[in-house]
């Protein structure tokens, strides 16, 4: 597994505009998402449920959490 890294918003935008898009996961709670919305096409998996869902993704998947 690759070590997590922070990326600037501009770099995320570039990745989202590319043909090889990352999997974007919004880890905020339901109430926070309802108040502010999400990045289009992002998945909503609250932080407390991440471990349960990680087996759903390929081991080499490029995942961005926010």
What local confidence, expressed as pLDDT, does residue 44 receive?
97
Q: For the chain, how many structural domains are there in total?
A: 1
> Which domain, by its residues, includes 13?
9-65
pTM of the prediction? 0.85
pLDDT band at 2 (very low <50, low <70, confident <90, very high): confident
Q: Is residue 4 part of a domain?
A: no
What local confidence, expressed as pLDDT, does residue 1 receive?
63
Q: What is the pLDDT of residues 9-56, one digit of tens each?
A: 999 999 999 999 999 999 999 999 999 999 989 999 999 999 999 999
What local confidence, expressed as pLDDT, does residue 33 receive?
95
3-class secondary structure per residue, the chain: CCCCCCCCHHHHHHHHHCCCCCEEEECCCHHHHHHHCCCCCCEECCHHHHHHHHHHCCCCCCEEEC
């Amino acid at each position: 597994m690759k070590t997590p890294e922070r990326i600037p918003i501009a770099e995320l935008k570039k990745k989202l505009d590319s043909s090889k898009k990352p999997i974007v996961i919004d880890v905020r709670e339901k109430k926070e998402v309802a108040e502010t919305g999400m990045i289009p096409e992002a998945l909503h998996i609250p932080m407390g449920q991440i471990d349960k869902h990680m087996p759903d993704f390929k081991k080499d998947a490029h995942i961005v959490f926010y």
